[in-house]
Structure 1
Amino acid sequence: MDVHIHIESVVELGFCINLRTFGIFIVCYLDNGGAIKEWQNLKSVLKNTVQLLYLSIRAHGFLPFGGTKDLPCHEKIQKLVLRGEWERNICVPTVDMFPTNLTKLRLVSSKLQEDPMPILERLQSLRILCLYGSYVGTVLICSTGGFPNLEKLKLGGLHNLHHWDIKEGAMPILRRLIIDDCYKLHVLPELQKVHNLQELTVEGPSRELWEGMQMQGKDVHKIKHIPSVSIRNYHPQEEDIT
């Protein structure tokens, strides 16, 4: 059974124990206390959904999410979509908040203050990760051995990101990487360390990054092992606009 609802209908779903797909769109703007209350309401509904495979929570304002570890469906959920701001004193992400067997994760508009990679890279089953507008910091670090099964990574709308460090042995089977609208990233990370990367797409880069990926550019040695490289629509800096 698949269900997608607005927040007003959530109390009516307590009897649905065979849900496999559950999506909720919270149309009201929540403050801190409201988000905590709504997460408790959601948990009261989901406590009987032992077959849940896909969970999507989208909200304006603060995201009502505190982790699935105390739900019976924790081991079953494979795909998780979370859209909305994570206010730090409501729910700071930790590894045990996420389902053990999670294979796909999408975080949108989370506005996380701290680098999420040290947490997310420990999700052993994760194959697809999308971060869009989910981090407001300047540096990302992927550690050795991190993301052992990640195959696809998309970073989008990280408007403050200017440095990304990839350690040797990180993301060992990553095949596809998309960098979209990260216009303060002027230099590519050390992608030559990602040995199995087959496809790189860069959308809306800074002019400096665009130039660095051209023939004889400073980033060419990082991408020459990648069979398919696409770069388009460089993002003009203020000094380029007349």
Structure 2
Amino acid sequence: MGILEKLPNLTTLNLKSQAFKENTKILVFSKEGFPSLQYLFVNGMFGITEWRVEEGAMPRLCRLNITYCSGLTTLPDGLRYLTNLRELTIRGMRKELHRRIEEDGEDFYKIQHVPSLVIGEPMQ
């Protein structure tokens, strides 16, 4: 991630299940990382159990898709800093995460500023 997040013209990033070594558990988006990123797709990252988004990361991100990342039980706190985020899609995640992001859930504050929230059914 350290190399990718320094690419000044990267506007779209699609992270899939085989993007990292099998034992990778934490995904970190650093402050000032991904300065031009507008579209981020995170799909099938089963081994990731923690995701951190530092304040100042991905300042231009407008669309985020998170699908089938069964290791995640919560969304990154730093999503609340993504003020340009216009569309967030979450599908195929654990029931625990779904409960946390409902309107009365403890993590809803992280995503309440996003105008378009598309929340699919949780995994069975």
1:193 partner amino acid: Y
**Cα distance in 2, alignment partners of residues 178 and 130 from structure 1:** 9
Shift of residue 121 of structure 1? 0.4
For residue 212 of structure 1, the aligned residue among 91, 100, 114 is 100
Return the match for 1:148 from 27, 35, 40: 35
Count of residues paired in the alignment: 120
1:224 maps to what in 2? 112
Deviation at 1:193, TM superposition (A): 1.2
Q: Where does structure 1 lack aligned partners over 5 or more consecutive residues?
A: 1-116, 237-242
| 2:51 maps to 1:164 | yes
Confirm whether residue 127 of structure 1 aligns to residue 11 of structure 2. yes
| AA of the residue aligned to 1:164 | W
Question: Which of 75, 80, 87 in structure 2 is aligned with 1:199?
Answer: 87
Provide Cα deviations, 1:198-217, integer angstroms capped at 9, x if missing partner.
10001101111011111210
Equivalent residue for 2:70? 183
Secondary structure at the residue paired with 2:2? helix
Cα distance in 2 for partners of 1:226, 1:122 equals 26
C-alpha deviation, 1:132, in angstroms: 0.9
Moved >3 Å (runs of 4+): none
Q: Which residue of 2 aligns with 1:34?
A: none
Residue correspondence of structure 1 range 21-170 to structure 2 within 5 A: 117-133=1-17, 134-135=19-20, 136=22, 137-170=24-57
Q: Which position in structure 2 is the counterpart of 1:233?
A: 121
Report how far residue 194 of structure 1 moved: 1.1
Q: What is the CA distance between 1:159 and its match in structure 2?
A: 0.5
Q: Which has the larger radius of gyration?
A: 1
Percent of matched pairs sharing the same residue: 39
Distance 2:104 2:83 in 1: 21
CA distance in 2, matches of 1:181, 1:119: 25
Select the structure that is richer in helix: 1
DSSP 3-state at the match of 1:210: helix
2:33 maps to a residue whose letter is G
TM-score, structure 1 normalization? 0.49
2 CA distance for matches of 1:231 and 1:119? 31
For residue 140 of structure 1, report the CA deviation from its aligned partner: 0.5
User: Which structure has the higher relative contact order (CA within 8 Å, separation 6+)?
Assistant: 2
